[in-house]
Amino acid sequence: MKAPPRLQTLVEEGLIDTVVRQLMSGKEAMVFVVRCGEETRCAKIYKEATHRSFRQAVDYTENRKVKNSRSARAMAKGSKFGRQEQEAAWQSAEVDALYRLAAAGVRVPRPFNFFDGVLLMELVTDAHGDAAPRLNDVAFTPAQALQHHATLIGEVVRMLCAGVVHGDLSEFNILLAHIPGEGDLPGVDEPVIIDLPQAVDAAGNHHAQRMLLRDVGNLRDFFGQFAPALLKTDFGPEIWSLYQAGLLSNETALTGRFERSTASVDMAAVLREIDDARDEEAARRLRMATPAA
């Protein structure tokens, strides 16, 4: 097919040879299948903010850092330049997360290049070499549901140990890839996590705990349709409590059970913490808005 304008630059730069077809159009991007030499890859074109149904909610962008102080001040003020810089930071967040998670051994598409707002990465495929289906398009046996759920809980832990929370994890952004077997061994289907522009820093974002609990809850509810025993598990709070205590690792054996504290809550202390956080944020915004001497 004829290369869309946003991909034509990559063709001219020699990063891709031909555009095969459009794969999908989602809430924040369009994805195309492309050929790069002998390899088939996919190119993700990020939509401009005015054309996206998904907004850069402050919950996701909290504590995202930019290296340029001028850009940071402009983003804090919300100027036109600041909005442009925020858009660039939003797009590069997925690229940064992919490289970070791939290095940590998390099952994500392998990134190859990010150029002019287009992410070039691995095309995740099924047993026939076609684009892999999303989990929501697949039915599972109870045994398969238990297996894939356990795998994905392990991936959530691996991500958290790498300092990342997906923030929007569900059956709609996990692909079921086919991994060929070696020699005479049969291949296996394994989940691959995609769509990471909203990934948050686990230690630096105050909403990280809520997002992780929601991510894990989404996995429980989806796979619980096929294996109802999963609906009684409580992996989210267990994982986060171990993380907060500094006891979580990729080898941590999880039980899926969590005992909630019945101790009374000191509301006065909680309100003081909220007031302190509000004052710190106000001071930070003031610093960002004040030009350097």
Quickly count: other Cβ atoms within 10 Å of residue 40's Cβ: 15
Evaluate the CA torsion angle 75, 80, 85, 91 in order and state its sign: positive
Cα(222)–Cα(231) distance, integer angstroms: 9
Quickly count: other Cβ atoms within 10 Å of residue 60's Cβ: 20
C-alpha pair distances (Å), 197 with each of 28, 41, 108: 9, 19, 13
Choose, from 59, 116, 137, 168, the residue flagged as catalytic: 168
Q: Hunting for tokens 């795998």 — which residue is that?
A: 151
Q: Residue 107: helix, strand or coil by DSSP?
A: coil
Taking CA 207 as the corner, what is the angle to CA 201 and CA 211, rounded to the nearest 5 degrees?
Answer: 85
154, 101 Cβ separation under 8 angstroms = no
Choose, from 189, 195, 215, 234, the residue flagged as catalytic: 195
Strands 188-193 and 174-179 turn out to be antiparallel
Burial class (CB in 10 A: 0-12, 13-18, 19+), 230: buried
Beta bridge partners of 191: 176
Q: Which helix (H) or strand (E) holds 81?
A: helix 80-103
235, 153 Cβ separation under 8 angstroms = yes
Does the annotation count 195 as an active-site position? yes
Beta bridge partners of 56: none
* Catalytic residue IDs: 168, 195
